[in-house]
Amino acid sequence: MLYVMLIHWVADFLCQSRWMAENKSSHLGALSAHVGTYTAVLGVCCLPLLGFFPGVEFAVANGVLHFVVDFITSRITSYFYKRQNMHAFFATVGFDQYLHFVCLWMTFYYFYAG
């Protein structure tokens, strides 16, 4: 699971371009590009751990969940950022990561440990 969390960080932060980050709250194309990149990185990196079919299923399931979470949280963070409410902005970013970790943990358990 520690490996999955590291891959999440790489896929969600390091592989997200500035354009994706700044536009995913208002443009489905930017959100889709972010989630597509996230899913691809997660999938490629988890194939050796989970095997081909479980790895693909794990990545796709988390891609869908990531889209849903970011669709909601990116709009909330954008709202707070525009109003310079930085406490609420960072609290929402933290909660977004919590939701991603819960999704990863639950799907990892389902596809790998279950």
- How would you write the pLDDT of the chain (114 residues) with one tens digit per residue? 899 999 999 999 999 999 999 999 999 999 999 999 999 999 999 999 899 999 999 999 999 999 999 999 999 999 999 999 999 999 999 999 999 999 999 999 987 776
pLDDT of residue 29: 98
**Predicted TM-score of the model (pTM):** 0.93
Chain position carrying tokens 């989970």: 50
Number of domains in the chain: 1
Closest CA to 66 of 88, 20, 34, 92: 34
Instruction: Give residue 109's domain range.
Output: 2-113
pLDDT of residue 111: 79
Length of the chain: 114
Q: Which two tokens stand for residue 3?
A: 């490996």
Burial 56-67 (b: 16+ CB within 10 A, else e): bbbbebbbebbb
Cα angle 40, 106, 65 (rounded to 5 degrees) comes to 45
pLDDT of residue 37: 98
Q: Residue 21, CB half-sphere, CA atoms under 13 Å: how many? A: 10
pLDDT of residue 95: 98
